[in-house]
Amino acid sequence: MDFVVLRLIHILGGAFWLGAAVTMFLFLQPTAQATAPEGQRFMLHLLRDRRFSEVVLAAALLTGVAGAILFWRDTNGLRLASITQPQILGFTIGGLAGGIALLLFLFVGYPAGRRMIAIGGKLEAERRPPNEDERRILAAAQSVLSRVGATVLVLLVIAAAAMATARYLPLVL
């Protein structure tokens, strides 16, 4: 029964995380950039007031933790022979891709987003354009976010595709 709940948390969390990443990086972010400065106000509201990043981060952490527990059980405590057997290989590949995506999001993408929100909020409150220093920090954070966003997206698609097909791998390997 516990594992049914874990699977449910894992799959619903993963579906939400992937959907949110696709929507953010392929649609919302380019739209906000194309419609600046109104688009930047929209992003500030979405990220700071609606706490979009925190909600997605919570879903990503739930997905990763539930997936790690399921993986531990499936591999009898990470035994090498189990990790590489055809029935598990898809989950191993997907788990690695999803795990790296989670670490990138947690330690690189999320902090870069927080730096942008802090400056964006200050500029909005003081009703002024960014100074030279702030412009530099914003540009650096934006460039980190674009690269991390694209990488996380690719890793999540690999994770979802590997896991969706994992049970059928023994038929082709």
Gyration radius of the chain over CA positions: 19
Give me the least distance between CB of 12 and ligand HEM, in Å please: 10
Residues 58/106, Cβ–Cβ less than 8 Å: no
Q: Is residue 159 part of the contact set for ligand HEM (CB under 6 A)?
A: yes
* 25 sits in which H/E element: none
| Per-residue mark of binding to ligand HEM, 46-85 (x: CB under 6 A) | -----------------xx--xx-xx--x-----------
Give me the least distance between CB of 158 and ligand HEM, in Å please: 9
How would you label 20-36 residue by residue, b for 16+ Cβ within 10 Å and e otherwise? bbeebbeebbeebeeee
Q: Measured between alpha carbons, how far is residue 66 from residues 30, 52, 83 in Å? A: 32, 21, 17
Which listed range, 38-46, 97-105, 111-119, 135-143, lies at the site for ligand HEM (CB under 6 A)? 97-105
* Residues lying near ligand HEM in the complex (CB under 6 A): 7, 10-11, 14-15, 17-18, 63-64, 67-68, 70-71, 74, 91, 94-95, 98-99, 102, 156, 159-160, 163-164, 166-167
